[in-house]
Amino acid sequence: MAKVTGLEGVIAAETDISLVDGENGYLVYRGHWAKDLAISKSFEEVCHLLWYGRLPNGEELAALQSKLVEQRELPAQMRQLMDVLPLSLPMMSVLQTIIASIDYAWPPTIEQAISLTAKLPVLIAYRYRQQTGRAFVEPDAALAHAANYLYMLTGQRPEEAHSKALTAYLILGMEHGMNASTFAGRVVLSTQSDMASAVSGAIGAMKGPLHGGAPSEVTAMLEDIGTKANAEPWLRAKLEQGERLMGFGHRVYKTRDPRAEALRLVTSGMTGQDPWFDLAIHVEETAIRLLEEYKPGRRLYTNVEFFAASIMRAIQLPSDLFTPTFTAARVVGWTAHLLEQASINRIFRPQSLYTGAQPESQ
């Protein structure tokens, strides 16, 4: 009998939230191509789509925007807790602890989803500034979600191109079907535990390197390549040595990863606005040509990590903020799933197959 592990291929729930189709390279959020949303919609519009099931009209968008801005305010209790946590505690553990301390009642609500989504970037920025010995920068109500995050991290108003790129990254990171953290959150909520506990559980799952990962190997590659002129000799040398190029190939997507494709479009639309975007586009084109030469027929394309890394590098996000930033995106999908889970709730209680020793007969 085949080993029973990992729930691969098991359908754990029906969902209206997203479709992930690796064979065809499809990623759909509630009937809309995620790549189109990333290019043409705001973070707040896509939040509305995932939570309420449809894109907002002007009035609905304005209402959601102002609620998200209002909810950026950190309660005194949260700040106090943050101030007593050891500075050496990793950011993901800090987020998990602070979110777990929120006292929400069952059932989960959209208001709670809004509050968690609004607060996560503020918590990350608060902690980051603390860890780097700088004063907290209060959120700026005039700035949209992604721009405000960058502003709170750096204390400076971000460039338009950087806010746009980060927005696209956040939209594409929001949701990806029944991934490990989403499933973990749904399992916690299915016990009729509250939304904050479920999100805290999801953050715990996201923390592991097999899930939250980090595009830092791609960042290192881009930094090492440094200039467009160095791209071809650098990449060729790696392939000659039989090494893999970071940010290329995917276990599931055997065609273009739709998230990489969307981030490529956003990035290529901004070449000339940041040297890292220019370098990333050039490295991608060169690498695809060389991979076809060295690995013909293997269908190797850029994966999401490649463009995520070039965006992170362009906005100068330190590598230990990559996974927390991914978390600040995925919280939107988690909370949409938690609302959906509550609407059809039945406790998750799978079986296990006992393979241990049998007792001696009585």
Element (H, E) at 26: strand 26-29
CA distances from 118 to 111, 128, 225, 332 (A): 11, 17, 37, 10
CA dihedral 32, 34, 36, 42 (to 10 degrees): 100
Question: Closest CB to ligand ACO among 79 and 298?
Answer: 298
Q: Does 330 bind ligand ACO (CB under 6 A)?
A: no
Q: Does 329 bind ligand ACO (CB under 6 A)?
A: no
Question: Closest CB to ligand ACO among 189 and 245?
Answer: 245
How far apart (Å, rounded) are the C-alpha atoms in residues 99 and 165? 27
Which is nearest to 307 in space by CA: 352, 278, 251, 264?
264
Q: Please, what is the minimum distance in Å from the beta carbon of residue 279 to ligand ACO?
A: 17
Question: Closest CB to ligand ACO among 98 and 304?
Answer: 304
How far apart (Å, rounded) are the C-alpha atoms in residues 269 and 280? 12
Q: Pick the binder of ligand ACO from 304, 314, 332, 336 (CB under 6 A).
A: 304
Answer yes or no: 45 catalytic.
no
Q: Please, what is the minimum distance in Å from the beta carbon of residue 13 to ligand ACO?
A: 22
Q: Please, what is the minimum distance in Å from the beta carbon of residue 130 to ligand ACO?
A: 30
Question: Closest CB to ligand ACO among 41 and 250?
Answer: 250
Query: Residue 209 in contact with residue 51, Cβ under 8 Å?
Result: no
Which is nearest to 95 in space by CA: 355, 324, 332?
324
Using CB under 6 A as the binding rule, the residues of this chain from 4 to 63 that contact ligand ACO are none
CA distances from 48 to 84, 99, 177, 219, 331 (A): 35, 22, 17, 32, 13
Q: Which of 175, 261, 284, 305 is catalytic?
A: 305
Q: Please, what is the minimum distance in Å from the beta carbon of residue 125 to ligand ACO?
A: 25
Using CB under 6 A as the binding rule, the residues of this chain from 106 to 145 that contact ligand ACO are none
CA 7 to mean position of chain CA atoms: 22
Q: Which of 48, 162, 176, 250 is catalytic?
A: 250
Q: Please, what is the minimum distance in Å from the beta carbon of residue 124 to ligand ACO?
A: 21
Q: Does 177 bind ligand ACO (CB under 6 A)?
A: no
Using CB under 6 A as the binding rule, the residues of this chain from 218 to 277 that contact ligand ACO are 244-251
139's tokens:
């959120």
Q: Please, what is the minimum distance in Å from the beta carbon of residue 187 to ligand ACO?
A: 22
* Strand arrangement of the beta sheet that strand 32-33 belongs to: 18-21, 26-29, 32-33
CB under 6 A: which stretch of 18-26, 57-65, 294-302, 321-329 binds ligand ACO? 294-302
Question: Closest CB to ligand ACO among 16 and 223?
Answer: 223
How far apart (Å, rounded) are the C-alpha atoms in residues 68 and 113? 10
Q: Pick the binder of ligand ACO from 157, 211, 236, 295 (CB under 6 A).
A: 295
Question: Closest CB to ligand ACO among 303 and 323?
Answer: 303
Question: Closest CB to ligand ACO among 277 and 322?
Answer: 322
Q: Mind giving me the DSSP string for 248-306?
A: B--SS-SS--HHHHHHHHHHHTTTTT-HHHHHHHHHHHHHHHHHHHHSTTS---B-HHH
Q: Does 172 bind ligand ACO (CB under 6 A)?
A: no
Query: Residue 257 in contact with residue 30, Cβ under 8 Å?
Result: no
Q: Pick the binder of ligand ACO from 107, 177, 213, 269 (CB under 6 A).
A: 213
Answer yes or no: 305 catalytic.
yes
Q: Does 349 bind ligand ACO (CB under 6 A)?
A: no
How far apart (Å, rounded) are the C-alpha atoms in residues 299 and 291? 9
Catalytic (active-site) positions:
250, 305
Binding site for ligand ACO (CB under 6 A): 213, 244-251, 295, 298, 300, 303-305
